Amino acid sequence: MTKEEAPGATEEEQQAQSKKGLKKQQKEAEKAAKKAEKQAKLAADQQSTEEEDFAKDRYGVSAMVQSQQKLDRVLVRVQDLIPEKADQLIWLRARVHTSRAKGKQCFLVLRQQQFNLQALVAVGDRASKQMVKFAANITKESIVDVEAFVRTVEQKIESCSQQDVELHIERIFVISQAEPRLPLQLEDAVRPDGDGEEEGRATVNQDTKLDNRVIDLRTTTSQAIFRLQSGVCQLFRDTLTEKGFVEIQTPKIISAASEGGANVFTVSYFKTSAYLAQSPQLYKQMCICGDFEKVFCVGPVFRAEDSNTHRHLTEFVGLDIEMAFSYHYHEVIDSITDTMVRIFKGLRDNFQTEIQTVNKQFPSEPFKFLEPTLRLEYTEAVAMLHEAGVEMGDEEDLSTPNEKLLGRLVKEKYDTDFYVLDKYPLAVRPFYTMPDPNNPKYSNSYDMFMRGEEILSGAQRVHDAQLLTDRANHHQIDLEKIKAYIDSFRYGAPPHGGGGIGLERVCMLYLGLHNIRQTSMFPRDPKRLTP
């Protein structure tokens, strides 16, 4: 190509390019026009849809409840919705457990504590498409008020506690909206440990549950555990009140370590130091000396033990008993074992729903006990352990593995999960324990066990000021710090004894659980101070 021809060729190219440019601009203009037309159509459709939403007053997010008004409206309980309520129009407040949209309808599972039922919103005379869409988009765990008809169902709803009825929703209002992202899913938190792994579904570890305890407490398992725990406290109180005991309250800030040991929390107390009570022991006894005869208390107990085990807490609830007796401390043992048996029977007879709920996630054998309660002497227990090949001294305290082994041996031989071990070696008991009059190496003390783990420690107390002083000196306790306690026995004190029970341990072992943190609502251990 010559130099003269080149410019002509460039002009042709330029013309071709400008034609392409025009075509491109035309296409873009057409595209923009179509887009504008589509948006206008959508806006028109939306406007017409809004106009057509005949149910817009029947759903929505309610204004925050600030006690603005008193509504003459009765909210029914989920557990009360049974076939006899069929065709009634009711109001209900519950959490949205799950929701599932399907075509022109939305299925909800509404939950109230450990009870739940199915509810349905379907497009029809009372519900619009927008209402169904709104219901389907309500976040899990939100709290809603619904007005609905109770309807019976032809086929049982196996996944709900209320299997014979469902709700047909007329109105639905969100009272409190949950954030879309939950820290844990409730269905994952109640899944038995083995199940999730096999099916590739998630389970929730214990620390995650405890870090998000508010959510975890909503699970059916947690609801059942803590309702049963409340039952233990109620049965304990009712039984002892019936036996003529008086409930007392004791101080938790004290001037000297209750048990005379080192496992005590020190707190600053103005210009000096004080301690958190390891036991209400001294005050229970002072009440006996004050002629109350039989007392009990329910309250927190603090132990500064750096024990990161399945059964230790630094703060737990103590169920404590103290009583004067006539001639023998076995009167005290009989009173406590009878109380425990009454608690076991009360749980068995009145808390089967809770027991079965916990068993679904944590299967265990039903708890067994005898009447009267089995009582073994410490020397018998040591002999049983020797027979099983355990090497230990006659005056040695039981280690945790030996306690568990003894529990298994007792279960095999006597078929009971609950028993008393009597006459402990004096060397392993606190200073206020009465020595055995027939053998100074042993004492009038006892422990009680459930499924091979200790739940109560007790004894006849020394009620003589001089013997108590001698025992305190033997344990190298500063007498000045327990002067008020020793002085309580200088003016006449009846023979007496008692014991302290750990509430969380009783619940854990009765239900056959494997970690005490499951039965402590907000557990405290060496590594956990929150929530």
Instruction: Quote the CA–CA distance of 465 and 455 in Å, as a whole number.
Output: 29
Instruction: Quote the CA–CA distance of 386 and 289 in Å, as a whole number.
Output: 42
Q: Residues 305, 315, 377, 395: which is the catalytic one?
A: 305
CA 316 distance to own-chain centroid: 13
Look up residue 252 and give its DSSP letter.
S
Q: List residues bridging with 450 in a β-sheet.
A: 418, 453
Q: List residues bridging with 109 in a β-sheet.
A: 98, 118
The answer to whether residue 111 is catalytic is no
Instruction: Quote the CA–CA distance of 379 and 531 in Å, as a whole number.
Output: 44
Instruction: Quote the CA–CA distance of 296 and 248 in Å, as a whole number.
Output: 6
Are 127 and 53 in contact, with CB atoms under 8 Å apart? no
Q: Residues 95, 97, 311, 451: which is the catalytic one?
A: 311
Q: Residues 142, 222, 457, 520: which is the catalytic one?
A: 457
The answer to whether residue 311 is catalytic is yes
Question: What sign has the CA pseudo-torsion 360, 364, 366, 369?
Answer: negative
Instruction: Quote the CA–CA distance of 194 and 198 in Å, as a whole number.
Output: 7
Q: Residues 93, 191, 505, 517: which is the catalytic one?
A: 505
Count of C-beta atoms within a 10 Å radius of residue 168: 17
Q: Residues 58, 454, 496, 517: which is the catalytic one?
A: 454
- Quick one: tokens of 175? 């009272």
Q: Residues 58, 111, 303, 461: which is the catalytic one?
A: 303
- Quick one: tokens of 291? 């002629």
For 441, the 3-state DSSP assignment is: coil
Query: What would the DSSP string read from start to end of 412-433?
Result: HHH--SEEEEE--BGGGS-TTB
Compute the chain's Rg from CA coordinates: 35
Q: Residues 312, 330, 348, 375: which is the catalytic one?
A: 312
The answer to whether residue 505 is catalytic is yes
Instruction: Quote the CA–CA distance of 64 and 315 in Å, as a whole number.
Output: 38
Give a three-class secondary structure readout of 488-531: CCCCCCCCEEEEEEEHHHHHHHHCCCCCHHHHCCCCEECCECCC
CA distances from 160 to 78, 115, 358 (A): 11, 8, 16
Are 457 and 497 in contact, with CB atoms under 8 Å apart? no
Give a three-class secondary structure readout of 329-392: CHHHHHHHHHHHHHHHHHHHHHCHHHHHHHHHHCCCCCCCCCCCCEEEEHHHHHHHHHHCCCCC
Instruction: Quote the CA–CA distance of 167 and 92 in Å, as a whole number.
Output: 10
> Which residues fall within 8 angstroms of residue 348, CB to CB, at 6 or more apart?
355, 366, 367
The answer to whether residue 457 is catalytic is yes
- Could you tell me which of 143, 131, 88, 487 has the C-alpha nearest to residue 285? 487
The answer to whether residue 371 is catalytic is no
- Quick one: tokens of 134? 């709104």
- For residue 138, give the amino acid letter: I
Catalytic residues: 303, 305, 311-312, 454, 457, 505
